[in-house]
Homo-oligomer: A and B are copies of this chain.
Amino acid sequence: MKDSPTIGVFDSGFGGLTVLRALMQQIPQGRFAFLGDTARLPYGSKSRRTIARYAAESAQFLVREQGAEYLVIACNTASALALDAIQDAVAVPVLGVIEPGAAAARHASESSDVLVIATDATVQSHAYATACRAQGLRALEKACPLLVPLVEEGWTDHPVTAEVIRVYLGELLSQASAEQMEPDALVLGCTHYPLLRPLLEKAVPAGMRIIDSAGAVADALVKELGASEMQSGTQFDAPELRCFATDSIEKFERLGSRFLGRPVGHVELVDLGG
């Protein structure tokens, strides 16, 4: 009997643990290795060239040293700017969060007009607009740079955060209206944002659906595994999770459980150089 496949999950920080959470829910018997490249975060303020190099090194660690047979890029910035570079760097299937997010938006939207909130770098890449256009959707993107720090401060249910969301969504809806759009879905284009879902649900107009790329990429991976592993009758072994970070182990261990929804356990420090 073949072992459970090892699924490598990579993020620049630990926000991608929301994606790992969705993966573990949908593939409870998977074997997971998560790497947060915390020494070099945030990728969002760096150039495409730099991000591609960092992401490729991280991907190679998961594949070569941890034996990952599938790779999920649980980082919108890296998915937006470095998916090609990662696919070139490793020989295993690589899934980003953006294409599955756009596909989920297409299923959810009736008007074919969608809104996307994300970090500055993801918005500047227009990766969601491009992926949405390929799905026949019109997407309006907005950078919301305060939301990640608010989540990391733990203010996920704070009046200040509700007000920041009100300001950002107000600006986005005004712009959509000015462009004659009738959006009926909001894509969360950052792995930190699922923790703000309760506040976002209260802030969006009635009837607007919220799309979480984390769930979407988990669905996509189940399909991928279904074809190559599950349908071949392989039994999965007991679940396993190993977490690695390039720095800031303490912060990872302290905040990670909020994102993962369960303790992350011991986090191992790895040195990728640079």
Would you call A39 an interface residue if the criterion is a C-beta within 8 Å of the partner chain's C-beta atoms?
yes
The chain B residue with its CB closest to the CB of A167 is B160
- Contacts A45-B41, A46-B247, A50-B39 given; indicate if A153 touches B163 (C-beta within 8 A): no
> A42 — which chain B residues lie within 8 A by C-beta?
42
Near B by CB (< 8 A), chain A positions 20-46 give: 38-42, 45-46
At the interface, yes or no: A134 with Cβ under 8 Å from chain B?
A: no
Which B residues lie within 8 Å of A160 (CB)? 160, 163-164, 167
Residues of B close to A167: CB separation below 8 A: 160
**A134-168 interface bits toward B, Cβ cutoff 8 Å, 1 = contact, 0 = none:** 00000000000110111011010001100110010
For residue A248, CB closer than 8 A to chain B, the reply is yes
Interface residue? A233 (CB, 8 A): no
The answer to the question of A273 belonging to the interface, with a C-beta cut-off of 8 Å to chain B, is yes
Residues on the B chain within 8 Å of A149, using CB: 145-146, 148-149
Interface membership of chain A positions 195-218, coded 1 if the CB is closer than 8 angstroms to chain B and 0 otherwise:
000000000000000000000000
CA distance A149 to B159 in the complex (A): 17
Check A47 for interface membership: any CB of B closer than 8 A. Answer: yes
The CB with the most chain B CB atoms within 10 A, among A38, A40, A45, A167, is that of: A45
> B residues within 8 A CB of A152?
145
Interfacial chain B residues near A266, Cβ < 8 Å:
none
A244-270 interface bits toward B, Cβ cutoff 8 Å, 1 = contact, 0 = none:
000110010000000000000000000
Q: Is the CB of A46 within 8 A of B50?
A: no
Residues of B within 8 A of A163 (CB): 159-160, 163
Contacts of A46 in B (CB 8 A): 39, 247-248
A248–chain B nearest beta-carbon distance, Å: 5
Interface residues of A (CB under 8 A from B): 38-42, 45-47, 50, 145-146, 148-150, 152-153, 155, 159-160, 163-164, 167, 247-248, 251, 273-274
Q: Top 7 closest A-B pairs, CB basis? A: A274-B274, A149-B149, A46-B247, A45-B248, A47-B247, A146-B149, A160-B163
